[in-house]
Structure formats: structure tokens, C-alpha cells
A and B are shown apart, each in its own frame.
Chain A
Amino acid sequence: MRILLTGLSTFWGGRLAQALEARDDVEVIVGVDTRDRRVPLERTEFVRCDSTFSILTRIVAATQVDTVLHTHLVVDSTRAGGRALHEINVIGTMNLLAAAGAPGSPVRKVVLKSSALVYGSNKEDPYVFKEDVTRSRGARTNVERSLLEVEAFLRDFADDNPHIAVTLLRFANVLGDDIDTPLSHALRLPVVPEIFGFDPRLQFVHEDDVVGALTYATAHDVPGVFNVAGDGALPWSEICALVGKRRVALPPVLTNWAAEPLRLARVLDLPVEVLALLRYGRGIDNTRFKQAGYEYEHTTAGTVDAFARGLRLAKTIGDKHPSYRYEHEVEDFFRHSPAVVRSQD
């Protein structure tokens, strides 16, 4: 496999590149991103480009990649908002798909990492979403709108390119030792916010299962749309209890205003879509991806438990990962020196 990986400097891009480097059937990994990467990598080639991937057609043609792995989508609106979000998600995906579907393109597989955010969180919702159920109300936030737009592009792309296997994975909220999301951030605080009178059931997926699922979709032919989430759903109160935290209530009306001081004080940024989740919760049906052959490592309860264990360890020893500094010489040595013994040789 020759793989093009977008968003190499994002959390998921880095993780995935590391996981793919370990596989013998992966010949080449070309990572593109706008910034320097943040994890040590041995044989992944890095190309810096602008956030909208406008030079991608040339990279695809030059490297003859057969698989495109798109992990660059922003699903956490605290990371990029407004214009930047639109550029990365919508325009970026548009250019990426244009490059992958260009005449003579060697690409035969596209895997895209989306989010269960596309289902929203409303009181009219079913308790568990299947892949073919559409959301009950229109999207209100930029991030949800952009993801819906991206999925629509992908749908058209799949229709126009029947020879390319297109896999769309929608992930539930992620928890793990390393990933930082609004919810994991909330669970790391001394007291965890909830919305007064609401105790929604939430579903989580472990960060290792995210990497596992993306690797699985890359290595196997599983075209289609799949939900990815651990089995089961837990009430927020129970999640907090498992993590060993007390809760503090936000008012059930004008919740977004009440969350504003927390944002301003930089304590916690709970965007609108996360507040909706803390009100109504969301469940997604993971059976289709299981039927496609993927075996989950963690259930939702297992994910929360693993997160709680990590939290307890971190309380004692602090951050276990030393921060990585990108150094050209070292990276180049690993990638190009004949002295480095590579597993696939």
C-alpha cells in the first residue's frame, strides 16, 4: 500500500502514521499538513502544504499513492472556528477529493474520519442512530454543517468514482490517555459540569479503537458508512462517578450563556454541540462495523474505566510523554540513511 495521509500533525494523523509504519504491507506513507508534526516518525515522508491542499494533485501524481487517508477534518470546534474550520474541512476535502478523482489518478481507496456529530443531539432523536438515519433537526453549529457538507462531497465522489472504495467512519466521542477533547477536558477538572436535571446517556470510543478502526479500514476493503463506538452507553453521572469526580450543575435554561464565563476564564470551553450532548446524549449503533469484521478493544464502560486509570496514574507521575521536538537531521537520518535497518527490506 502506498498511503497519503492528511493531517499528519494532528493528533490522529500522528497516531495513525505511527501505527501504519509498523505494518509491513505499507510501502510508503506520505503525510501532508500545514505545521510540523508532533510525534517521532521513522519512515513517513512529510510534505508541508497549505490548509486547503491545493498542491495535492501534483503530490498524488508524483507519489502514485493508492490509498488516501483523510484524518484532517476538524470535529472539535474549540480547535478551529469560523473561517479556518470551513477552509480545512470543506475546501480541504474538496481539493483532496478532486486530486484523488483526477483523470489517471492511481487512488483506489479513500478513508475519511468523520464524527457522530453529523447526527446531532435533539429531543426528537432515536436513542440509537443507525448509519442510514438522518438527523432530526437541521445543524445549528459550523462544525456540524461543515461535516455534513464534507459527507455530501464524499457521497458524490463515491457515486462518480465507482472504481474507488470509499469508507466513511463516524466516530463517537473519544476518550483516552492522550486525546484532549472538550469532554475529556471536562472530566479532568476537579469538578465536572453537568446540566441541571439532565443525565444523558453517552457513548464513547477509546482512542486505540479509533486508530484501530482507521487502520482496519485502510487495510481491508470495507466501502460504506460505519459508526464506530464502544458497546453500551452510560449516564453522564455514572461516567463522572467512574472517573471519581463530583459534578457541578449548569442551569437548564440559558446554558450557553452560563458556560460563557468558563470559556472566558479559559477553564473549559464547552461548545454548543457538546452542551446539546450533555442535555440529550447520543447513541450510535456500532453493529455494522462489527459485521464488517472489526473487533473492538473497549466497550464504553471499558473506555471510561481505562480513562479513569490513566487519570489516576497521571495524578501520581504527571504527564508521561516528554514533548517531542521536530529535528530535521534526526528525522532525515531515520528516513533516508542506509544505516537504518528497515523492517520491510
Chain B
Amino acid sequence: MWSIDALVCAGGGWGFAVAVTEIRTDQPAADLARGERGAGPEITARGERGAGPEITGGGALVHVPRATPDEEAAEQSSLRLSDVDAWGRSEKMRSLTRTLYEPIYRYWFRAEWEGFENLPTEGGALLVANHAAAIPSDAPVIMHGIERDMGRPVYGLAENLFRALPVIGTLWSRSGGVAAHPDNAYRLLHDQHELVLVFPEGAKGTGKHYRDRYQLRRFGRGGFVEIAMRSGVPIIPIAVVGAEESMPILWKSNRIAKLLGIPYFPITANEVLFGPLGLVAYLPAKFRIRVLPPIRFDVPPDQERYSRSRVMDESEHIRVRIQEALYDMLRTRRSVWFG
């Protein structure tokens, strides 16, 4: 079931059953440097977080002249045969999936954006959106729209379940999927200044019943806020209308899901209408996407920990803003299919 599901997305540009909710902090340094015995001037145990001089507040930092990424890339690329980057993303592969997905984006979902100008043209940012549909249709739409109209790559954080799937996992990774691990997110946002898309509801969002549509689930434990704080990047909330109706869940079985080892086992309206084809076919719901103004945190980056209550407050604040935007958008929606 899952493999077929994900293949479907493969045609379309990637569904992400995202759960960054389980973000945990790194276990304390289990290493010799902990003792900091006469660590020479060359080494600082905590220094490795911040490679550049522009960061403050991470303990003793060492100024390290960094080779410009361009130089390194040029040297490396002369030997390379593929364009797979450190995250497994291949621009060639991605542009192929974009070409295949374009008709679906334009003629099936007819996605329309509001507040597109809230997306930064440079610098890292964490995009946070609501998550819906049994096989999430929102991730590909958001990634496709931004990459097409802005020309910036978007890395989608998703459950590491994808990594364990043969073929699908590889295609997923080549198209910009990254396993949701705090270290990965930090590297993408802080070191490489990329756009990263995350769905803090995770499988709780995609696995919800149709009657609960547009009711946001818990935003995990707020790990995504902590990552944004640590990386020193803004969070950009995104509200998506349309995904819920593209593959609504009518019934689900926890028992079968447990047996198969997957987050949820749904019977969708699509399956009822089209039979097995329902695994492939989304309903043509009209997509409206609203990008809300960025939220910045006035906390120093690169801290080991951030105040738990502050993190939870911010997380809840973002959830409420997306929820209100959704209600606002639903108030003006006349038809599920025509917007």
C-alpha cells in the first residue's frame, strides 16, 4: 500500500508524510573534548557549530577561513559525474519531476498563491505549513510553486521512513526530500542558507479523518521553532486550502496500520470512487496557498538549549496564525472545486 502510494507521489513530485515533531536535542557530547584538557588554541570543543565569524553566542569560537563554496564546488565538479548534492538532491532529477508535475499543478490543482512576496529571495528560512490528504498533496504543490516561480530549491523534511524504502526512497531524496533530523535542518538553514519546508503536524495531520478537515493538530513538541532559533532564520507560516479535499480519509484502521508498520491505514474517498486507481488519482480540489509574514525570533543563534516555555509559546502562536488564516480563507471559499 505504502509503496504504491509513494510511487503515485513520485509521478507527481513527492508527498511527504512529515513528522519533524520528534526532534530531539543531541545527546551531550560523549567525547574526549569534554574534558577540555589543555585543548590547544586550534581546538575548541564547542567551536564546530559556528564555522563563520559572523556568529555570536556559541561559546568560544575560532575564526576559520572558509573556502568559498564556489571554489570547492568547481574543484569537486571537475571529477563528478552526477549532480547529486550533499542532501541527495539532483537538480536534473528535480527538473524532470517538475516538468512532469507542471500540468498537475496548473490544470488539476490550479494552485494560486497569496503573499508570495513574504518568501525571502535569499537566506535561509523555515517554511511551516499545515498538512493534509492521505498521501499528502501539499508538499509537492508548495515545493513546485516556489521552485518554479522563484528559482530557489526547497528541501522538504520528511519522516525517515522514506529513507528505508527501496527505489522510492532514492527518487524521493533525488527530488529534494531530506530525512527530518535536527542536525540536517540546522545544516541546511544555518550553513547553507536554504529554504526548508516542514510540516510540524506530521502524520497526525495527514492521517486525520475528513470530518476534522482544517483543524490543525498539535505542532509536535515545537522542535521546529528550536531549529529556527538555533539556525537564526525566520519561520514563514504557510496556510494551504485544498489539500484536505484532494484525498479525504473516510475510514482508517489502526490495527492494520500497526500490522504493516505504517503511521495510518486509510480508506479514502478516492478509493471508494475509483477503486485501486484511487491510490493514484487526487480529486481536483482547488488549491489556495497563503504565505504569512515571516516570524523572527530575537534570540541569539547557536545556543545549546532554548527556553522550553518560549519555544512552546512560539509554536502555539504559529499554529494559531495558520489556523486563523485557514478559517479566513475558508470563509471566502465558495466551492471546493472552483475556489
Contacts and interface: CB of A to CB of B under 8 A. Distances in A.
Please indicate whether A and B come from the same complex rather than being unrelated chains. yes
B303 interface: no
A238 interface: yes
Interface stretch (B177-185, B203-211, B271-279): B177-185
A288 B48 contact: yes
Given A124-B160, A287-B48, A299 B32 contact: no
Interface stretch (A50-58, A93-101, A154-162, A260-268): A154-162
Contact of B88 (A124, A201, A252, A304): A201
Interface string A280-294: 100101011011110
Interface in A111-153: 123-128, 130-134
A15 B47 CA distance: 33
Interface in B117-161: 160-161
Interface string B164-190: 111111100000001101111001000
A271 interface: no
A305 interface: yes
Nearest to B48: A288
Interface string A157-169: 0110010011010
Nearest to A195: B166
Nearest to B80: A301
Interface stretch (A80-88, A227-235, A332-340): A227-235
Nearest to B77: A301
Contacts of B163: 123, 280
A155 B29 CA distance: 12
A315 to B, nearest CB: 20
A126 B179 CA distance: 8
B32 A132 contact: no
Chain A, interface residues (CB within 8 Å), range: 35 or more
B86 A127 contact: yes
Interface residues of B, number: 49
B305 to A, nearest CB: 15
A318 interface: no
Contacts of A180: none
A195 B178 CA distance: 20
Given A195-B166, A198-B166, A238 B84 contact: yes
A305 B79 contact: yes
The CB with the most chain B CB atoms within 10 A, among A133, A199, A293, is that of A199
Interface string B99-114: 0000000000000000
Given A162-B35, A224-B33, A126 B184 contact: yes
A278 to B, nearest CB: 12
A221 interface: yes
B33 A134 contact: no
Contacts of A128: 86, 183-184, 187
A223 interface: yes
B82 interface: yes
B43 A155 contact: no
B257 interface: no
B259 interface: no
A225 interface: yes
Contacts of B298: none
B47 A291 contact: yes
B75 A130 contact: no
B88 A235 contact: yes
A241 B81 contact: yes
A224 B31 contact: yes
B81 A132 contact: no
Contacts of B164: 123
Nearest to B73: A232
Contacts of A322: none
B170 A199 contact: yes
A265 to B, nearest CB: 25
A301 B47 CA distance: 27
B21 to A, nearest CB: 14
B179 A127 contact: yes
A288 B43 contact: yes
Contacts of A234: 80, 84
B84 A285 contact: no
Contacts of B167: 196-197
B40 interface: yes
Given A124-B181, A198-B170, A302 B79 contact: yes
B72 interface: yes
Contacts of A293: 42
Given A196-B166, A225-B33, A134 B79 contact: no
Nearest to A279: B164
B40 A221 contact: yes
Interface string B64-84: 100000001001100111101
A242 B42 contact: no
A222 interface: yes
A127 B184 contact: yes
Contacts of A133: 26-27, 183
A288 B45 CA distance: 9
Nearest to B84: A235
A292 B31 contact: no
Given A130-B183, A231-B72, A238 B32 contact: no
Given A123-B164, A201-B84, 20 more contacts: A123-B179, A127-B87, A130-B48, A132-B30, A133-B27, A158-B35, A158-B37, A159-B35, A197-B167, A197-B170, A221-B38, A223-B40, A225-B31, A225-B33, A235-B82, A242-B81, A291-B43, A291-B62, A293-B42, A301-B76
6 contacts: A127-B184, A223-B33, A224-B33, A238-B81, A299-B75, A301-B80
